[in-house]
Each structure stands twice: as structure tokens, then as C-alpha cells.
């Protein structure tokens, strides 16, 4: 992903085109979040698999302008074009959505050239799901004591991490964490409880910390922990995303 058009309001109505693994996962996640989802695919079997779990589902070819127009895709908040392999269909579908005046278009790319074309014809966000997932899996395996929740920039991230042994049974104020380690503890997960930490909060063994800060500072800190997060669970969560 690079230049992404800003999303300026919460979106409620989505069209998902192409129900491969990525499209299906996007459609089902949006539906589970209570969003209105129309799915389109040329294959009746792909439609049949999820038609009962989304608002509406239509077997059709998205490269036909009149079809997309009569389905009213231009009235939805966002179209997510998940066609990958058939680059011509992917490009044509994005172009038609743009011409119909769709407000926000997300498109999946297979290659850098594909991405360039999609951006050129007006996709507002271009994604490479495999690259994103590859990074997530690799960083979980390479650093099992932390699970990256969000990479804000190349140098700044928010992670879930196991508690460093040297912090156990000490309060945040006592350790002067923000000044000494240059990181901020946003939340502490203690069993099923989420604690919003104060200076007087004491860290216990087994706590999981949600931490924001510079990548180098967080990595240095997570090297000081013997505990590892459940890397298997983190990977499972990532792959279910
Ligand atoms: P994934 O990696 O997410 O599994 P993929 O990159 O293999 O997907 P494709 O095989 O290109 O993706 O297609 C995904 C889906 O898009 C398929 O179910 C296919 O039937 C559908 N599709 C392809 N072309 C069109 C089209 N013109 N109109 C509607 N659906 C289409």
C-alpha cells in the first residue's frame, strides 16, 4: 500500500467483487461487523458458499458496465475489487467503478505494474494481501514475545508484548518507564481484565502489555523478556484476519 485516499466518514455499504480467499474473508468480516454487503462473482458456487451470510449476492460479470450500473454499485460507500489473477478483469472492473462515480474503490494487485495501473485509473487504495500477511507471519515468528498490532510508520509501532522480567512487581511510576525506556504503556491485559495504567499501577508476572513507541526501543525491551506470547495464537489470529 502507499498513497491511500483518506476515508472521511464511517462506511456502511460495501460491494465485494470476486470471492477468492481474500474477497470472501473481506465480505464475511464486513458482514460480521453489521455492514451491508453485496457480493458479486461470475461463479455460482462461490456465490452459493456465502449468500446466506451477506445482505445480497449476485452471479454476474463485473466487466459489464450496464450490470454494475443496474445493481447500483455507484450508490454504495465503497467497492472492494478482489479479482487478482485475471488482470484485465481487475483493471476493467476498477475503471467501470470509477466511471460510475463510486466514492471509494479498494483494489487488490498481483504485481507492482498491476498496482501502478490501478492507481493510475483511480483506485483509492491498492492492497497486496500476500505481502501484508507475509510480513505479519515473519514478524510473529522472528519476535514471538511481541505481536505487532499496528505499524504506524517504519519506525513507530503499537505491539502486544509479554512483560519483561525486570518489571515484575514494580509500579510504572517507580520505574519511570516513559523517560527511561521511551515507550508508552497504553493498556495492561491481566487475565480477562483490561487495565488503563496509572503511575501507581504495579505490573505482575503474566501481564501482557499494549505498548506504543519506536520500533528500536520496543525491540530492545522485548529482548529482555523470557516469556513469549502465544505465537501460535497470534499467527492463527493473523491468518484468520
Ligand atoms: P485469492 O488469492 O483471494 O484466493 P485470486 O487472486 O486467486 O484470489 P482470482 O482467482 O483472480 O483471485 O479471482 C477471485 C474471484 O474473482 C474468483 O471467485 C473469480 O470467479 C472472481 N472473478 C474473476 N473475474 C471476475 C469478473 N469479471 N466478475 C466477477 N467475478 C470475477
Total of domains in the chain: 2
Q: Which of 92, 127, 162 is the last residue of a domain?
A: 127
Residues 6+ apart with CB under 8 A from 37: 14, 15, 16, 27, 30, 31, 54, 55, 56
Both 147 and 78 in a single domain? no
pLDDT tens-digit map of 80-135: 999 999 999 999 999 999 999 999 999 999 999 999 999 999 999 999 998 888 88
Shared-domain flag, residues 111 and 166: no
- Assess whether the C-beta atom of 26 lies below 6 angstroms from ligand 1: no
Same domain, 153 and 120: no
Residue 84 belongs to domain spanning: 13-127
Instruction: Evaluate whether residue 6 is within a structural domain.
Output: no
Residue 48, ligand 1, Cβ within 6 A: no
3 state SS of 69: helix
% of the chain exceeding 90 in pLDDT: 65
Domain closes at, from 69, 98, 127: 127
Chain segment 212-226, per-residue pLDDT in tens: 999 889 888 877 776
Average pLDDT over residues 166-170: 92
Nearest in space to 58 (alpha carbons), one of 41, 83, 78: 41
| CB of 39 closer than 6 angstroms to any ligand 1 atom | no
Taking only the tens place, the pLDDT of each residue in 116-131 is 999 999 999 999 998 8
State residue 1's pLDDT score: 45
Mutation pick for ligand 1 pocket among 29, 61, 85 (CB with most ligand atoms within 8 Å): 85
The confidence score (pLDDT) of residue 143 equals 75
In a domain? residue 51: yes
Last-in-domain residue among 127, 146, 176: 127
Residue 209 and residue 155 share a domain:
yes
Distance 193 CA to ligand 1 centre (A): 42
Four-point Cα dihedral 160, 22, 115, 157, nearest 10: 0
CB of residue 122 inside a 6 A radius of ligand 1: no
Write down the pTM of the prediction.
0.76
Question: Under DSSP, is residue 221 helix (H, G, I), strand (E, B) or coil?
Answer: helix
197 lines ligand 1 (CB under 6 A): no
Q: Classify the C-alpha dihedral 41-44-45-50 as positive or negative.
A: positive
What's 118's domain CATH number?
A: 3.40.50.720
Amino acid at each position: 500500500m502507499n498513497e491511500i485516499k483518506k476515508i472521511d466518514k464511517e462506511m456502511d455499504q460495501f460491494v465485494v467483487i470476486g470471492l477468492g480467499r481474500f474477497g470472501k474473508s473481506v465480505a464475511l468480516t464486513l458482514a460480521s461487523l453489521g455492514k451491508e454487503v453485496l457480493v458479486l462473482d461470475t461463479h455460482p458456487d462461490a456465490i452459493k458458499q456465502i449468500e446466506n451470510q451477506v445482505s445480497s449476492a449476485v452471479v454476474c460479470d463485473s466487466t459489464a458496465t450496464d450490470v454494475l450500473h443496474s445493481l447500483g454499485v455507484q450508490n454504495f460507500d465503497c467497492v472492494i475489487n478482489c479479482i487478482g489473477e485475471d488482470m484485465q478483469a481487475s483493471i476493467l472492473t476498477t475503471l467501470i467503478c470509477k466511471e460510475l462515480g463510486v466514492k471509494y474503490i479498494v483494489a487488490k494487485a498481483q504485481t507492482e505494474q498491476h498496482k501502478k495501473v490501478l492507481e493510475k485509473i483511480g483506485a483509492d487504495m491498492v492492497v497486496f494481501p500476500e505481502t501484508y500477511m507475509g510480513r505479519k507471519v515473519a514478524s510473529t515468528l522472528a519476535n514471538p514475545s511481541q505481536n505487532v498490532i499496528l505499524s504506524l510508520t517504519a519506525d513507530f509501532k503499537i505491539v502486544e508484548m509479554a512483560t519483561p522480567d525486570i518489571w515484575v512487581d514494580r509500579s510504572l511510576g517507580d520505574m519511570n518507564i516513559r523517560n527511561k525506556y521511551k515507550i508508552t504503556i497504553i493498556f495492561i491485559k491481566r487475565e480477562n481484565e483490561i487495565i488503563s495504567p496509572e503511575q501507581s499501577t504495579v505490573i505482575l508476572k503474566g501481564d501482557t502489555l499494549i505498548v506504543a513507541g519506536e520500533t528500536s526501543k520496543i525491540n530492545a525491551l522485548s529482548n529482555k523478556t523470557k516469556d513469549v506470547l502465544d505465537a501460535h495464537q497470534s499467527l492463527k489470529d493473523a491468518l484468520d484476519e
